[in-house]
Chains A and B, each alone.
Chain A
């Protein structure tokens, strides 16, 4: 299909938006969906979802910027939850539930094409004061879709009381699970995963001006080919060159400037990256206590202790990253991610080959098929008595979800 036509298909509402500005009320979209036109769009979108699998390939960092040319990360007005069969819960976050789903009523041979569908209930998002974060998440995911090591958001959509993000399914499960089972990773394994993360941070910071703000093994998944995919962009924010102040992250991974509330930026990800490498190699993060306040006290003090067997290079990398003074922190100083890539601990990495997924990873999940969920834990079913999304709430909040 010609790319222009494809684009039109995938962005039907975009052109409509241009014609009738201000006609974007999701509550009224039910009516429109009944029209024959919308039905057709919907079928075509579903069809394209089936094609996506074959077309996916890493985009060069420069191509990812180009929103118009890529066929992922769009906001759909046609898709609905009914278009998907919910197979199994893959994970639950604070207020989201991620399902393995299959597109319903598709051609023979396409039954095996699955996705991960992240569902957020609007009431929960509002109650937990995460409206801003959820909007950031969707927008950042849309703009980064196509990166080889970031979970691709194929499309997003909403209905009356929920928000949906359709994601590339990563059947390998969380790096967290492998790490806890192995207790620690050896150096080559740690280097490989760390290096893929460096490429993600380099891209987010230097191409997108985005701070990710929640790096940890729980948010890193392994895809079918054994490469990493970063998920959960709930705290990601386009900060560009301005500092930001909202405290967010995971206790053990918070950077000192976040705790002290002096304003933070992309440098927090390099701090967290140091903690991550430490946790890979040691099996637990460097700052820990049962009492979170004691963790924070250790963090602002910033004294990392290393097991004596840790290699000199690894220590030097981690110390460089976990430096309290941001003007000395590796990754934040002149040269940015380049200084991290040039660190001796990464001596063996061929960065170009790594980006294009030409280097094999240490774990390639062995799967029975594309819909295999053996690498995921079991989760409690969703509680039945959900809080209702009322008319009052919708009047007050739907405005905020408009572009979802």
Chain B
């Protein structure tokens, strides 16, 4: 008769543990080992798929996990249960077991969130001329949703984007002429969209310039089809579009293939913005209701514009930082960290950016425009700053009052970094400066220098 396989497995697991830990008290060690195994097996049983009826889950929760690596199991159970109770009362809409979608625990259904027609909501959320509201668009986004999708989530990715590194071959986004009114309408149309609201003036101008006019000659043209890949975002210039969602998740042939009409989009409205992030299946079909005109923007152009300006700006900042003697010993990865943290600010002409006598908190680099330096009791400017010049850097070093004032003479853009920000990222500037003295080279600053 041979030993049961389960037994052999346990014994060899035990042997491995004994080898690893080399216990002094072997008997106690083995006893502990089996106790832990038993606890763990119970916890696991309670969590096993066969046992995951709603009641089963409840039990699993209270007794999970069987083995607390940090404290006594009893203790552990109590903590868990008490947290659980209070929590249920607090959640605005608690994800209680009963509100899980019926297929939530079904491992076979791999439907990602995007596939359900749920994502219709924002799809036309910015439509200004809707006849009916999509069901969930009015929900407070901060409330806990009670229908969280419990399935496995699919990863998403866009085409790989690599910035043009050489300045000789910079990217020029497509440009399509528009009248002043058209531009204004477009600006208003995208104003409420968070993808556009973070853009600076330059990016915004490039993006608006890149929108391309797309005439829709007649009624009944499907601009986008539910389930298809999506590459474009659209703004309605004139005309009217109807939005349909087929419960199956995609446009089908036949009479009812469109599915139910869930809304309409008119001038100033927009649709398909998820396509500006990555290529996800369209959540609805959008069809013209009359002869219309659209503005179209594709993802690659949009992301390219954003990337290129971010890339240029970072390189510009790094270049500026290289010129600051106080920071000359920064390693390149440190410079890029600082460049990442620099904040751009715009001031009109005549603004006092730093005031003589104030306690200095920030350091500035002049990104564009001009500024002048004044000292009290002297009307003549002592110095002129232009693009690439920096000032206020001593604030990084100490709390001494500003020695002079800096006033903008034109509209200026400055990149700003506070002392706190600097220290958070790289520690005190004194330490950085001390590096200039090779005899005091600090170690362990550049984690990447040691690799290979």
Q: In chain B, what residue has the closest Cβ to A133?
A: B157
Proximity string of chain A (262-290) to chain B, C-beta cutoff 8 Å, 1 when within and 0 when not: 11010000000000000000111000111
**In the complex, are the beta carbons of A309 and B90 less than 8 A apart?**
yes
**In the complex, are the beta carbons of B79 and A209 less than 8 A apart?**
no
Contact of B145 among A207, A209, A290 (CB under 8 A): A290
Q: How far is the CB of A228 from chain B (nearest CB, A)?
A: 13
Q: How far is the CB of B37 from chain A (nearest CB, A)?
A: 7
Which B residues from 51 to 70 make CB contacts under 8 A with A? 52, 57, 60-61, 64-70
**In the complex, are the beta carbons of B427 and A246 less than 8 A apart?**
no
Check if B426 is an interface residue, CB within 8 A of chain A: yes
**In the complex, are the beta carbons of B155 and A250 less than 8 A apart?**
yes
Known: A186-B76, A303-B142, A362-B67. A290 touches B116 (CB 8 A): yes
**In the complex, are the beta carbons of B303 and A247 less than 8 A apart?**
yes
A contacts with B, residue count (CB < 8 A): 97
Which B residues from 250 to 286 make CB contacts under 8 A with A? 273-274, 277-278, 280, 283
Known: A65-B451, A369-B5. A261 touches B332 (CB 8 A): no
Q: How far is the CB of B1 from chain A (nearest CB, A)?
A: 19
Q: In chain A, what residue has the closest Cβ to B43?
A: A363
**In the complex, are the beta carbons of A367 and B36 less than 8 A apart?**
no
Known: A182-B64, A261-B310, A327-B340. A363 touches B44 (CB 8 A): yes
Known: A241-B332, A246-B159, A308-B86. A367 touches B424 (CB 8 A): no
**In the complex, are the beta carbons of B159 and A368 less than 8 A apart?**
no
Q: How far is the CB of A314 from chain B (nearest CB, A)?
A: 10
Interface stretch, picked from A1-9, A21-29, A101-109, A187-195, is A187-195
**In the complex, are the beta carbons of B90 and A333 less than 8 A apart?**
no
Check if A294 is an interface residue, CB within 8 A of chain B: yes
Contact of A292 among B105, B113, B144, B310 (CB under 8 A): B113
Check if A359 is an interface residue, CB within 8 A of chain B: yes
In the complex, what distance in Å separates the CA atom of A191 from the CA atom of B123? 38
Check if B401 is an interface residue, CB within 8 A of chain A: no
Check if B333 is an interface residue, CB within 8 A of chain A: yes
Known: A186-B80, A209-B451. A245 touches B161 (CB 8 A): yes
Known: A293-B119, A368-B5. A362 touches B43 (CB 8 A): yes
Q: How far is the CB of B315 from chain A (nearest CB, A)?
A: 10
In the complex, what distance in Å separates the CA atom of A50 from the CA atom of B60? 38
In the complex, what distance in Å separates the CA atom of A291 from the CA atom of B163? 30
Q: How far is the CB of A313 from chain B (nearest CB, A)?
A: 13
**In the complex, are the beta carbons of A334 and B306 less than 8 A apart?**
no
**In the complex, are the beta carbons of A247 and B86 less than 8 A apart?**
no
**In the complex, are the beta carbons of B155 and A263 less than 8 A apart?**
no
Interface stretch, picked from A32-40, A74-82, A145-153, A173-181, is A173-181
**In the complex, are the beta carbons of B447 and A336 less than 8 A apart?**
yes
Report chain A residues within 8 Å CB of B120: 291
Which B residues from 1 to 33 make CB contacts under 8 A with A? 5-6, 9, 13, 20-21
**Of B65, B79, B80, most A-chain CB atoms within 10 Å:** B65
Report chain B residues within 8 Å CB of A284: 95, 144-145, 148
**In the complex, are the beta carbons of B152 and A260 less than 8 A apart?**
no
A selection of 12 A-B contacts at a CB cut-off of 8 Å is: A94-B155, A180-B105, A182-B60, A247-B156, A247-B303, A250-B154, A259-B277, A262-B310, A290-B147, A291-B120, A292-B280, A296-B194
Residues of A within 8 A of B (CB): 65, 93-94, 129-130, 132-133, 176-178, 180-189, 191-192, 205-209, 214, 216, 218, 225-226, 234-235, 240-243, 245-252, 259-263, 265, 282-284, 288-294, 296-298, 300, 303, 305, 307-310, 325-328, 333-334, 336, 348, 357-369, 374, 377-378, 380
Residues of B within 8 A of A (CB): 5-6, 9, 13, 20-21, 36-37, 40-41, 43-45, 47-49, 52, 57, 60-61, 64-71, 76, 79-80, 82-87, 90-91, 95, 97, 105, 107-108, 113-114, 116, 118-123, 125, 136-137, 139, 141-142, 144-145, 147-150, 152-163, 194-195, 198, 273-274, 277-278, 280, 283, 303, 306-307, 310-311, 314, 332-333, 336-337, 340-341, 421, 423-427, 447-448, 450-452
